[in-house]
């Protein structure tokens, strides 16, 4: 419930960070401006006695985030994929947030499953293990079907998780509104819209029926992808608070020692993770938007297995083309074209200087192009990109938040598997293939065909539309608009012509 009472939640957040020692860790990792440091510490320090104590056996930041709740844990999961930003030691500490959080009891899980399936658990499963993984939203149990003995994974939402998330999000709204009020410059980042987008994403993640559907769609899209697996969905053993998938046997993607021990090729895995993500985003417009190491396994045969489909991203065809052209422009070092695409898509206000923007993009791309990941400081790069976006008045695009966030996470996963990966070189074949198929003569012909099919459906309605236009213009009670009849008739005849051409194209192609 939104309201002033959320001020208390924000104070307690700062107090918890201060009490657990996490405030110093955050300041050291992100190195914010001194004014922000003074303000944050000044507001939090006097109230640190009000902060949550957390699990004193955990490192400071992990202790604070787990005490604060699931939405904060999500933030920690993102940081755990970026050792190049927060440091290798802190990233390692935060990896426990991916799948090693405190568990709730097997009995509670069984009650939830029985309520969702409307059948006793022992009637459905011959085995039901203690939790094998526990994350911010749910935990997973290994089970065996009583019917045929197949091993499955049963995911169960945490008790009260819906209320806990809503509590956090309400406080985030207050923080966003306060930031917009106190810092007009921040409004271009649209913090309120960002939180609204986050809330909609979380709402889908808290309904496992939606996740079941997402897993099925993702499996269908990726069925032909070499070296990639999605567990089979058990539709009739899934509901709102519990879902069942086929069991995925493999090594967690964050267990690098185990991956090395069995002889998997880590550089090849790193390339495949990045190329698969780009393929799914560009080819399908539907991608796994939570691809941290805790949601990936390496199968015995070397396949990458994706898990946890609560957060999925979808981008339309136009946005895919824009995204591909931007990537391709960077790959070819055609910064002028990259700038043009930003202006054409409306990402940069039209009153800005396109040549200056191209020059700024060159200053971003040239220092990192051709370098392996170990020689690129992502923290410095992100800081400079923020400066560029501020200088040219670029606003946050909420429709791209998941894509951009996932790209950061996937690149971090690829780096962890191969610190020397060359991102541009790995991305090039996927982007070039997409450009060839979707931006050129073949794509133009395909677009015309789609347009023709849509327009052709209006063919039978054209006579009635013309007649209605004539009656409307001749009605003495209706004040005719200047040249309205000519405009309407022109569009009607143009429509008829397009319909005829469309019918021909549909029959031809």
3-class DSSP state for residue 292?
coil
For tokens 């319909």, the residue is 499
- Determine which one of 84, 99, 168, 290 is catalytic: 290
In the annotation, is 260 catalytic?
no
Bridge partner residues of 318 (DSSP): none
Using N-to-C axis directions, what is the helix angle for 354-365 and 335-344, rounded to 10°?
130
The 3-class secondary structure across 242-288, one letter per residue, is EEEEECCCCEECCCHHHHHHCCCCHHHHHHHHHHHHHHHHHHHCEEE
- Are the beta carbons of 273 and 421 closer than 8 angstroms? no
What is the separation, in whole angstroms, between the first and last Cα of the chain?
56
Ramachandran angles phi, psi of 300, nearest 5°:
-55, -30
How far apart are alpha carbons 418 and 270 in whole angstroms? 6
- Are the beta carbons of 214 and 418 closer than 8 angstroms? no
How, if at all, do strands 228-229 and 304-306 pair? parallel
Q: What share of the chain is helix, strand, coil (3-state, %, to 5)?
A: 65, 10, 25
For tokens 């969905």, the residue is 233
- DSSP string covering 315-373: --HHHHHHHHHHHHHHHTT-HHHHHHHHHHTTSS-TTS-HHHHHHHHHHHHTTTTT--G
Q: Which of 212, 199, 202, 203 has its CA nearest to residue 116?
A: 212
Residues recognised as catalytic: 290
């Amino acid at each position: 419930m939104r309201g002033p009472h959320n001020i208390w939640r924000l104070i307690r957040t700062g107090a918890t960070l201060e009490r657990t020692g996490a405030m110093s860790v955050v300041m050291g990792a992100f190195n914010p401006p001194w004014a922000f440091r003074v303000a944050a510490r000044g507001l939090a320090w006097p109230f640190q006695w009000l902060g949550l104590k957390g699990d004193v056996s955990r490192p400071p930041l992990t202790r604070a985030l787990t005490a604060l709740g699931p939405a904060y844990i999500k933030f920690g999961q993102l940081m755990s994929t970026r050792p190049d930003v927060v440091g290798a030691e802190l990233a390692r500490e935060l990896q426990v947030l991916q799948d090693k959080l405190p568990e709730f009891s097997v009995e509670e899980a069984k009650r939830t499953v029985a309520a969702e399936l409307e059948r006793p658990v022992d009637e459905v499963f011959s085995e039901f293990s203690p939790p094998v993984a526990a994350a911010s939203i749910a935990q997973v149990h290994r089970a065996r079907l009583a019917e045929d003995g197949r091993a499955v994974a049963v995911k169960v939402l945490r008790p009260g998780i819906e209320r806990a998330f809503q509590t956090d999000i309400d406080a985030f709204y207050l923080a966003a509104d306060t930031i917009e009020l106190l810092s007009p410059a921040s409004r271009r980042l649209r913090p309120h819209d960002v939180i609204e987008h986050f809330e909609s994403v979380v709402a889908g993640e808290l309904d496992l029926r939606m996740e079941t559907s997402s897993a099925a769609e993702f499996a269908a899209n990726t069925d032909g992808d070499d070296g990639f697996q999605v567990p089979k969905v058990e539709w009739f053993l899934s509901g709102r608070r519990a879902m069942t998938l086929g069991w995925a046997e493999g090594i967690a993607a964050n267990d690098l020692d185990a991956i090395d021990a069995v002889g998997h090729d880590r550089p090849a895995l790193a390339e495949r993770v990045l190329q698969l993500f780009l393929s799914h985003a560009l080819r399908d417009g539907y991608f796994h938007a939570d691809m941290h190491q805790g949601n990936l396994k390496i199968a015995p045969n070397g396949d990458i297995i994706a898990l946890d489909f609560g957060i999925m991203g979808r981008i339309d065809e136009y946005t895919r083309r824009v995204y591909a052209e931007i990537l391709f422009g960077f790959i070819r070092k055609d910064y002028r074209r990259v700038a043009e695409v930003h202006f054409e898509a409306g990402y940069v206000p039209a009153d800005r200087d396109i040549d200056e923007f191209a020059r700024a993009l060159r200053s971003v791309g040239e220092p990192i192009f051709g370098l392996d990941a170990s020689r690129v400081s992502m923290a410095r790069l992100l800081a400079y990109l923020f400066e560029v976006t501020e200088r040219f008045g670029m606003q946050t695009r909420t429709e791209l938040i998941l894509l951009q966030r996932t790209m950061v996470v996937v690149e971090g996963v690829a780096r962890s598997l191969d610190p020397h990966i060359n991102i541009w070189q790995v991305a090039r074949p996927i982007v070039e293939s997409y450009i060839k198929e979707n931006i050129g003569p073949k794509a133009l012909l395909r677009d015309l065909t789609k347009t023709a099919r849509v327009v052709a459906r209006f063919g039978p309605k054209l006579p009635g539309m013309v007649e209605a236009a004539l009656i409307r213009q001749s009605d003495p009670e209706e004040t005719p608009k200047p040249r309205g009849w000519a405009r309407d008739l022109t569009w009607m005849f143009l429509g008829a012509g397009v319909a005829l051409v469309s019918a021909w194209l549909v029959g031809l192609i």
